Structure 1
Amino acid sequence: MSTDKGQYFNDLRTIQANLPTEYSRTFGQMIVHYYLHLIKSSHTQKANAKGLKQQAAGILQEFKRKQSLRKDYPATDLLVWVAESNHLPQALPVTSLLKEKKYRVTYISNKQQLLANPALEGYNKIQVVLPKRGIIAEKQVKEFEAVVSSIIANTNLAIITAEDIDTISKAFREYVTYTRQLQADYEKVITNVNPKAALIGYDIPTEGRTLTDVLNAKSIPTFMIQHGAMAKVDGIFGTHISKTIFVYGEVSKQVLKDSGTKADIKITGAPYLDELMKKLHTAGSKAQGKLKVLVAFSGPGHLTTENHHKKSIEAVMEVAKNHSGSVEFYFKLHPKDNRSYYTAEMEGKNLTNVHFKLPHSQSNDIFDWALFADIMLTGASTVAIEAMLCRKPVISLDLTGDYKELSFVKEGAVKLISDKAELNTVIEQAVLQNFDAFDASSRKAELYAKQFYGPTDGQAAQRCAQLIEPSLN
Structure 2
Amino acid sequence: MPWPTTETALRDTLKDQGQALELLEEWKASASQDGYVIELARGLLLQRMVWFGRGEEKQNATPAWRRVLFRWKMHQESKGLQQAPPFGVRHFLLATELSHLKQWEPVVKTSSDADCFCVLTTRSKVYRQAVQAGLQVRFIPRTGKMGNFSISTLTAGLPQPGRFRQWMAQTLMDALKDWSSLSSYLDKHLASLSGITVGVGNNLTHEGRYTTHWAKGKRFSTWSIQHGAIGPNPLYSHLSVNRFFAFSRQDLRQLQLLQVAEERIKLTGAPYRDSEGAQIISHTARNGKLDMAEREKYVLVAWSGYGHMTSRAHYFQQMEALFGAIAALPNNTFILKLHRKEKPADYQSYLNPTPPNVRLVPYEDDRFPRDIFFWLEGASALITGNSSVAKEAMDVGVPVISLDIADEYSETDYLKAEVVPVAEGKEEMVAKLKVWQEDPFVLAVQLENQKEFLGEKAPEGKEAAQAILEQLEEMLGSPEEKTKV
Which residue pairs with 2:449 in the alignment? Answer: 444
Matches within 5 A, 1:53-132: 71-75=83-87, 76-98=89-111, 100-101=112-113, 103-117=115-129, 120=132, 122-132=134-144
Deviates more, 1:291-300 or 1:244-253: 291-300
Which residue pairs with 1:342 in the alignment? Answer: 347
Mapped to 2, the partners of 1:65 and 1:116 lie a distance apart of: 10
Mapped to 1, the partners of 2:299 and 2:70 lie a distance apart of: 45
**Aligned-partner residue type, residue 357 of structure 2:** N
Which residue pairs with 1:34 in the alignment? Answer: 45
Deviates more, 1:460-469 or 1:290-299: 290-299
Which residue pairs with 2:222 in the alignment? Answer: 222
Identity among equivalent positions (%) equals 20
Query: Is 2:249–2:267's contact at 8 Å kept on the other side of the alignment?
Result: yes
Aligned partner (choices 465, 473, 485) of residue 461 of structure 1: 465
Alpha-carbon shift at residue 466 of structure 1 (Å): 1.0
> Is the counterpart of residue 306 in structure 1 residue 351 in structure 2?
no
Change (3 A) 1:22 1:333: closer
Query: Is 2:17–2:45's contact at 8 Å kept on the other side of the alignment?
Result: no
**Aligned-partner residue type, residue 268 of structure 1:** T
Mapped to 2, the partners of 1:386 and 1:426 lie a distance apart of: 20
Deviates more, 1:310-319 or 1:115-124: 115-124
Change (3 A) 1:26 1:67: farther
Aligned partner (choices 404, 414, 426) of residue 410 of structure 2: 404
**Aligned-partner residue type, residue 416 of structure 1:** V
Change (3 A) 1:106 1:278: closer
Query: Is 1:69–1:189's contact at 8 Å kept on the other side of the alignment?
Result: no
Q: TM-score, normalised by structure 2?
A: 0.74
| SS of equivalent to 1:396 | strand
Mapped to 1, the partners of 2:115 and 2:71 lie a distance apart of: 38
Mapped to 1, the partners of 2:71 and 2:390 lie a distance apart of: 44
Mapped to 1, the partners of 2:416 and 2:165 lie a distance apart of: 38
> Is the counterpart of residue 295 in structure 1 residue 301 in structure 2?
yes
> Is the counterpart of residue 319 in structure 1 residue 325 in structure 2?
yes
Change (3 A) 1:356 1:301: same
Query: Is 1:247–1:267's contact at 8 Å kept on the other side of the alignment?
Result: yes
> Is the counterpart of residue 210 in structure 1 residue 220 in structure 2?
no
| SS of equivalent to 2:408 | coil
Query: Is 1:133–1:175's contact at 8 Å kept on the other side of the alignment?
Result: no
Alpha-carbon shift at residue 391 of structure 1 (Å): 2.4
Alpha-carbon shift at residue 377 of structure 1 (Å): 0.9
Query: Is 2:146–2:177's contact at 8 Å kept on the other side of the alignment?
Result: no
Alpha-carbon shift at residue 201 of structure 1 (Å): 0.9
Matches within 5 A, 1:261-300: 261-262=260-261, 264-276=264-276, 292-300=298-306
Query: Is 2:81–2:138's contact at 8 Å kept on the other side of the alignment?
Result: no
Query: Is 2:44–2:235's contact at 8 Å kept on the other side of the alignment?
Result: no
Which residue pairs with 1:425 in the alignment? Answer: 431
Provide Cα deviations, 1:392-430, integer angstroms capped at 9, x if missing partner: 221100111101111111101111001122223333444
Gaps in structure 1 of 5+ consecutive residues: 1-18, 150-161, 281-287
Query: Is 2:146–2:180's contact at 8 Å kept on the other side of the alignment?
Result: no
| Count, aligned residues | 423
Mapped to 1, the partners of 2:117 and 2:164 lie a distance apart of: 38
Mapped to 1, the partners of 2:164 and 2:440 lie a distance apart of: 50
Alpha-carbon shift at residue 238 of structure 1 (Å): 0.9
| SS of equivalent to 2:199 | strand
Mapped to 1, the partners of 2:462 and 2:146 lie a distance apart of: 47
Provide Cα deviations, 1:302-345, integer angstroms capped at 9, x if missing partner: 11123322222222122212222x21112222233233333432
Which residue pairs with 1:158 in the alignment? Answer: none
Matches within 5 A, 1:371-410: 371-410=377-416
Gaps in structure 2 of 5+ consecutive residues: 1-6, 21-42, 281-293, 362-366, 478-485
Mapped to 2, the partners of 1:54 and 1:328 lie a distance apart of: 35
Alpha-carbon shift at residue 27 of structure 1 (Å): 4.0
Mapped to 2, the partners of 1:55 and 1:115 lie a distance apart of: 19
Which residue pairs with 1:201 in the alignment? Answer: 201
| SS of equivalent to 1:246 | strand
**Aligned-partner residue type, residue 352 of structure 2:** E
Q: TM-score, normalised by structure 1?
A: 0.76
Deviates more, 1:420-429 or 1:218-227: 420-429
| SS of equivalent to 1:335 | coil
Mapped to 1, the partners of 2:473 and 2:300 lie a distance apart of: 40
Q: CA RMSD in A?
A: 4.0
Which residue pairs with 1:5 in the alignment? Answer: none
Alpha-carbon shift at residue 434 of structure 1 (Å): 3.4
Aligned partner (choices 181, 185, 196) of residue 185 of structure 1: 181
Deviates more, 1:170-179 or 1:51-60: 51-60
Mapped to 2, the partners of 1:62 and 1:244 lie a distance apart of: 33
Mapped to 1, the partners of 2:90 and 2:99 lie a distance apart of: 23
Change (3 A) 1:352 1:60: closer
**Aligned-partner residue type, residue 23 of structure 1:** R
